[in-house]
Amino acid sequence: MDKTEWPLWEVFIRSQHGLAHKHVGSLRASDAEMAINNARDVYTRRNEGVSIWVVKSGDIVASVPGDKEALFDAARSKVYRHPTFFPMPDEVKHM
């Protein structure tokens, strides 16, 4: 199997009652259509009512671990930025 012809794809799936697509893993496929087919077989066992996204791994840009402090640590002490002090009515689900 030539890995340049079978690039790596990342798979995101929204399950039947799920709200958002979640990263579930990766697989190899020669193009997007095959990646979707393979994602169905490998990751959903063909449950109905799911949505699949596939994206070439090479197209994903990740944050650099070394930037962790600059990106995330500054917000840690600022709890007032989070709306955690309001009572939420039960009718509002999934905030």
**What does the angle CA 82 – CA 86 – CA 87 come to, to the nearest 5 degrees?**
135
Instruction: Judge residue 38's burial from the number of C-beta atoms within 10 Å of its C-beta, 0-12 exposed, 13-18 middle, 19 or more buried.
Output: middle
Instruction: Output the smallest distance, CB 74 to another protein, in A.
Output: 42
Touching another protein, residues 20-39 (CB under 8 A): 27-30, 33-34, 37-38
Q: Taking CB under 8 A as the criterion, which residues in 39-58 touch another protein?
A: 40-42, 45-46
Length of the chain (residues)? 95
Which stretches of the chain bind another protein, using CB under 8 A?
1, 6, 27-30, 33-34, 37-38, 40-42, 45-46
